[in-house]
């Protein structure tokens, strides 16, 4: 019945409606994407304290137009699953009008609000520190249609969302005039220094001259022909030095996993600067180190591929931090022999992003024994509020053996899915919005004790 009534209304509207004007306009937004990383000292129920690192996918869309002049009815808009295309000079003329762009930095501010929020149900925090790591930021234009039409209610101006294909709102005469005033004739900013330049360079390994197959998201790759480290630059492929674990003999059953290695410095009031993990551990536990907690070395190691934002990936990040920082390493700059032919996992996490996560690696190296002796004041003084600085990063490769669905060492293993990625792993990534909704739902859900009380009272009645 409802379908019949709607069809009758549609037929009558189509017979009487008349489009007076239809204009395509592109509206600028600032799209920022990254992750919120939380280091939480807490416990499950009445259990012992543990150091838990969790990361969540975060993205924010904020208007890059003059919101005081225009209202696009776009509160809560998120563009994370949209497909973006580069705006070309040749397309500007045929894409209609462009709303002038203004400076916008609200996206980063909006992401910051998630740092201290409770996002994990069932985990009671004792101390918490959160940081935002941004990996994508750009100006994005979205299409809207301004349609002036004679409808059943008279002369109206409708705002159509060209992305979702829905009516965004009905405009007043003043709003319609505001859209008509002021158009950006140079949305690309071709006169500015940030206008993109495209360079075509030969893809040849600088060491052996072969044409390597570079993974799409690789920052640093290993040439399959000569095992040299290579990276893309505006001038073409360049050589990148890397170190690998000395004493390991890679073969076809070996996977060399990359890590960013950073020298570090921790400044604490009234104490000499800390530059080694041994000094860091002694400063936290001057009365003696907990059993099994003995970090070593003068470097902080961060996995050089995108491991965080799934529960399994977050746990693997902590397991790797404890294993890698729990022993001293001997490195060699020698390349892997050409007869070995192991699997080289490319570096897909840029150095700057890895540096943003180095503080989290310092937190994640704490074992269950050391976490049980931590408290809020100690964490704030020694890590959260300390002056941390990390030096120039370098790539270090560590050997793992392929064992079914995991790459393993005696002290730690990593699931291959967490390295290979793909749709199965993407489906497990948790957004801040999804985590917040799950947390609120858990807070409203009655506990087992409440259910028992309710059923008891119901029975008495």
The pLDDT tens digits for 89-124 are 888 888 878 988 887 666 778 888 899 899 998 899
Domain boundaries along the sequence of the chain: 16-180, 199-240, 243-430
Q: Residue 85: is its pLDDT beyond 60?
A: yes
**3-class secondary structure per residue, the chain:** CHHHHHHHHHHHHHHHCEEEEEEEEEEEEEEEEEEEEEEEEEECCCCCCEEEEEEEEEEEEEECCCCCCCCCCCCCCCCCCCCCCCCCHHHHHHHCEECCCCCCCHHHHHHHCCCCCCCCCCCEEEEEEEEEEEEEEEEEEEEEEEEEEEECCEEEEEEEECCCCEEEEEECHHHHHHHHCCCCCCCCCCCCCCCCCCCCCCCCCCCCCCCCCCCCCCCEEECCCCCCEEEEECCEEEECCEEEECCCCCCCCEEEEEEEEEEEEEECCCCCCECCHHHHHHHHCCCCCCCCCCCCCCEEEEECCCCCCCHHHHHHHHHHHHHHHCCCCCEECCCCCCCCCCEECCECCCHHHHHHHHHHHHHHCCCHHHHCCCCHHHHHHHHHCCEEEECCCEEEEEEEEEECCEEECCCCEEECHHHHCCHHHHCCCCEHHHHHHHHHHHHHCCCHHHHHHHHHHHHHC
Whose structure tokens read 């180095």?
358
Please state whether 391 falls in left (phi above 0), alpha (psi between -120 and 50) or beta: beta
Mean pLDDT of the chain: 88
Buried b (16+ CB within 10 A) or exposed e, 81-105: eeeeeebeeeebeeeebbbbbeebe
The pLDDT tens digits for 155-168 are 888 888 888 888 88
> Span 406-433, mean pLDDT?
93
- What tokens appear for 317 in the block? 């990040």
> Span 222-227, mean pLDDT?
92
Cα–Cα dist 137/119, whole Å: 24
Q: Contact at 8 Å (CB) between 431 and 111? A: no
Task: Express as a percent the part of the chain with pLDDT over 90.
Answer: 50
Tell me, what's the pLDDT at 122?
87
Partners of 134 in beta bridges: 34
Tell me, what's the pLDDT at 461?
45
* Predicted confidence band of residue 338 (pLDDT cuts 50, 70, 90): confident
* Predicted confidence band of residue 195 (pLDDT cuts 50, 70, 90): low
> Span 386-412, mean pLDDT?
95
* Predicted confidence band of residue 445 (pLDDT cuts 50, 70, 90): low
Tell me, what's the pLDDT at 109?
80
> Span 331-357, mean pLDDT?
92
> Span 231-237, mean pLDDT?
86
Q: Residue 211: is its pLDDT beyond 90?
A: no
Q: Please state the pTM of the whole predicted model.
A: 0.85
Q: Residue 204: is its pLDDT beyond 60?
A: yes
Residues belonging to the chain: 461
> Span 171-185, mean pLDDT?
81
The pLDDT tens digits for 284-329 are 999 999 999 999 999 999 999 999 999 999 999 999 999 999 999 9
More confident residue, 96 or 346: 346
């Amino acid at each position: 019945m409802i379908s019949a009534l709607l069809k009758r209304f549609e037929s009558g509207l189509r017979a009487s409606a008349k489009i007076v004007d239809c204009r395509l306009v592109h509206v600028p937004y600032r799209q920022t994407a990254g992750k919120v990383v939380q280091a939480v000292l807490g416990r499950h129920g009445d259990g012992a304290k543990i150091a838990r690192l969790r990361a969540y996918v975060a993205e924010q869309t904020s208007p890059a137009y003059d919101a005081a002049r225009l209202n696009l009815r776009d509160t809560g808009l998120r563009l994370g699953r949209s497909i973006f295309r580069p705006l070309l000079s040749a397309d500007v003329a045929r894409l209609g009008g462009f709303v002038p762009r203004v400076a916008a930095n609200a996206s980063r501010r909006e992401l910051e609000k998630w740092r201290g929020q409770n996002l994990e149900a069932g985990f009671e925090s004792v101390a918490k520190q959160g940081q935002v790591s941004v990996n994508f930021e750009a100006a994005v234009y979205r299409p809207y249609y301004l349609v002036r039409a004679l409808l059943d209610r008279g002369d109206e101006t409708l705002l159509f969302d060209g992305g979702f294909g829905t009516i965004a709102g009905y405009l007043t005469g003043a709003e319609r005039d505001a859209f008509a005033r002021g158009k950006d004739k140079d949305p690309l900013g071709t006169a500015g220094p940030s206008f993109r330049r495209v360079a075509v360079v030969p893809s040849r390994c600088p060491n052996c001259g072969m044409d390597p197959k570079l993974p799409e998201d690789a920052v640093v790759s290993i040439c399959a022909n000569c095992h040299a480290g290579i990276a893309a630059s505006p001038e073409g492929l360049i050589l990148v030095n890397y170190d690998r674990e000395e004493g390991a003999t890679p073969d076809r059953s070996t996977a060399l996993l990359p890590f960013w290695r950073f020298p570090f410095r921790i400044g604490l009031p009234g104490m000499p600067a800390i530059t080694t993990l041994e000094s860091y551990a002694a400063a936290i536990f001057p009365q003696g180190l907990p059993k099994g907690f003995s970090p070593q070395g003068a470097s902080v190691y961060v996995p050089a591929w995108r491991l965080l934002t799934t529960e399994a990936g977050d746990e693997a990040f902590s397991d790797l931090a404890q294993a890698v920082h729990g022993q001293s390493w001997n490195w060699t700059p020698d390349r892997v022999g050409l007869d070995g032919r192991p699997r080289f996992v490319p570096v897909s996490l840029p150095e700057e992003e890895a540096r943003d996560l180095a503080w989290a690696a310092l937190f994640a190296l704490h074992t269950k024994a050391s976490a049980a002796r931590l408290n809020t004041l100690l964490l704030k003084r020694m890590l959260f509020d300390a002056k941390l600085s990390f030096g120039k990063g370098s790539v270090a490769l560590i050997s793992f053996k392929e064992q079914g669905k995991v790459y393993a060492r005696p002290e730690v293993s990593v699931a291959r899915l967490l390295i290979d990625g793909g749709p199965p792993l993407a489906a497990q990534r948790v957004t801040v919005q999804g985590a917040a909704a799950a947390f609120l739902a858990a807070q409203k859900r009655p506990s087992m004790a409440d259910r028992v009380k309710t059923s008891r009272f119901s029975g008495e009645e």
